[in-house]
Amino acid sequence: MTKEELIAKAKLRIRKTSTDDLDQDVGQLVEVALADLKRIGVHSSYLDSKNIKDPLIIEAALLYAKANFGNPENHAELMASYDMICTKIKGGGYHRSISNSVD
């Protein structure tokens, strides 16, 4: 999926169906999530803006957007879920290129 498709999925996750200026905020949250994943050592091949397909990477971005858009009552729980996925990603060989990963 492209980054634009990921942003569209994030809009659905936060139940935002209209198109307005807040779409930029959703896009920014997805960008921050992907930057955070890069920061923890995820290889850039998993974060390619034209081909994001790993379900853990996608879910991490969606959770981050949901946790940080607006002021959700369950922010702490959502961020705990995001942190758990990041822990799984850190231990899952994501520091290697997709083509070099061990299955």
Q: How confident is the model at residue 81 (pLDDT cuts 50, 70, 90)?
A: very high
- For residues 34 and 98, which has the higher predicted lDDT (pLDDT)? 34
Q: What is the pLDDT of residues 19-71, one digit of tens each?
A: 888 889 999 999 999 999 999 999 999 998 899 999 999 999 999 999 999 99
- Domain extents for the chain? 3-98
Q: Is 76 exposed, middle or buried (0-12, 13-18, 19+ CB in 10 A)?
A: exposed
Tell me: pLDDT of 82 over 50: yes
CB of 3 closer than 8 Å to CB of 30: yes
pTM for the structure as a whole: 0.89
> How far apart, in whole angstroms, are the C-alpha atoms of residue 97 and residue 103?
12
Closest CA to 99 of 42, 46, 36: 46
Phi and psi dihedrals of 19, rounded to 5?
-110, 120
